[in-house]
Amino acid sequence: MNVLFIGDSITEWGRHEDAEGIGSGYVRLIHDYYKTSHPIQNFKVINQGVGGDRIVDLEARWEHDVIHINPDIVSISIGINDVWRQLDSEDQDQVYPEEFEKIYFKLLKSLKEKTKAKIVLMEPTIIEEKLEAEGNQKLKAYIDIIHKLADQFEATLVPTHQSFLTCLKAKNNYKLTTDGVHMNSAGNMLMAVTWINHVKI
């Protein structure tokens, strides 16, 4: 069974420095969990995360990095940079919700038509560890789109954003990121546990 993870730097996290190409983030934790707790014959994790990616970047490499590989499960985590670039790179061409939905729909349609892969859609996590942060407010529209697409394509939804909000609401002041976006070990664990709790392999 081949499980392919695709997304941005949160997914990529160290895969180029890792001999197995899996990295040291949430993808590694999911891999190690199944390798040790639920031994599955011929179980393989493929990490196709690329730092800085937005939905338009996934579109550009979709055929080569996903369709061509023809995995059994495709897990997609995208949306953080589509919002973050609106905050830190205002001069850049932006991907607003309407375009985000249009491209995401196209990618999922292609996946359905060309493969038999089970689809897993992860909510984008957070932008700043503050509930009221502008980035987290802007993320809501993108998360709503992901929920809509999960219904349309009968995909498994992983409520990663909600898991992070729950932790933030607890106000225990335990950090989940290194900079408000990129995960520390606790953030990676939260992502992995949320994924494992919602995806059936």
**Residues with active-site annotation:** 9, 179, 182
Q: In this structure, are residues 82 and 138 in contact, taking their beta carbons and an 8 Å threshold?
A: no
12: three-class secondary structure by DSSP = helix
- Phi and psi at 49, nearest 5°, equal -75, 145
Do the beta carbons of residue 186 and residue 125 sit within 8 Å?
no
Contact 78, 7 (CB under 8 A): yes
Q: CA-to-CA distance for 21 and 59, rounded, in angstroms?
A: 22
| DSSP per position, 37-83 | HS--TT-EEEEEE-TT--HHHHHHHHIIIIITT--SEEEEE--HHHH
